[in-house]
A and B are shown apart, each in its own frame.
Chain A
Amino acid sequence: EVQVVESGGGLVQPGGSLRLSCAGSGFIFSDPHMDWVRQAPGKGLEWVARIRNKVNSYKTEYVASVQGRFTISRDDSKNSLYLEMNSLKTDDTAVYYCAVSYTGRPPFNYWGLGTLVSVSS
């Protein structure tokens, strides 16, 4: 069974940093692209970042609002995905979901339960 579990969320002050992790199991972690999607409290879904698989040279994509502040990375040997978040703003407050996206299929085939990031002074 495909599972992804996020961790690393918490309360951080504006301007601070946080690193989210996502541990995968039940699938060959190196196969799919991996995404982060977030949802602010009571709001809709927003795609944040993607890292492609090794076959696609681990190329990354970001939504403009996090470009230059967030860095997505993966360690296939540890079945792990990461999101390094710097210069955090109150608008970054959200539940952050890790999602598995197999190539040749529409994205976000499997989701984790999410981890809450709260940016507040």
Chain B
Amino acid sequence: DIQMTQSPSSLSASVGDTVTITCRASQGISNSLVWFQQKPGKAPNSLIYGASSSQSGVPSKFRDSGSGTDFALTISSLQPEDFGTYYCHQYKSYPFTFGGGTRLEIK
């Protein structure tokens, strides 16, 4: 199975800040990676995938990078609505796996 290691596990930042979340795959997954955002009590929502292919309606403030084993999600100009938990997910091979999540708290 491909293990996805996300860091940090939690993050506190101020409005207007730029933050970066990283995700490392235990083996190469090309660019078969999606980033999800989840708000408390809600289902996850996909943000961006395959190196900057964003879902419809997702602001350009969300940027991803990486390929192979190392990936990053950068969120610029943080706003209060950006709080939540972010997950990376690989769909290169079964079983599909997720990172452990990064809880983003707005100061």
A106-B32, A108-B34 given; A47·B95 CB < 8 A: yes
Please report the C-alpha to C-alpha distance between residue A47 and residue B49 in the assembled complex, in whole angstroms. Answer: 17
Choose from B42, B43, B91, B99 the contact partner of A107 (Cβ within 8 Å). B91
Is the pair A45, B34 in contact by a Cβ cutoff of 8 Å?
A: no
> Is A26 in the interface zone, CB < 8 Å from B?
no
Q: A47 to nearest B CB, angstroms?
A: 4
In the complex, how many residues of chain A place their beta carbon closer than 8 angstroms to a beta carbon of chain B?
19
Is the pair A44, B44 in contact by a Cβ cutoff of 8 Å?
A: no
**Chain A residues closer than 8 Å to B95, beta-carbon distance:** 47, 61-64
Is the pair A45, B87 in contact by a Cβ cutoff of 8 Å?
A: yes
Q: Chain A residues in contact with chain B, CB under 8 A? A: 35, 44-47, 50, 61-64, 97, 106-109, 111-114
Q: What are 14 A-B pairs with beta-carbon distances under 8 A?
A: A44-B98, A44-B99, A45-B36, A47-B95, A61-B94, A63-B95, A64-B1, A97-B43, A97-B44, A108-B34, A108-B46, A108-B89, A109-B46, A114-B43
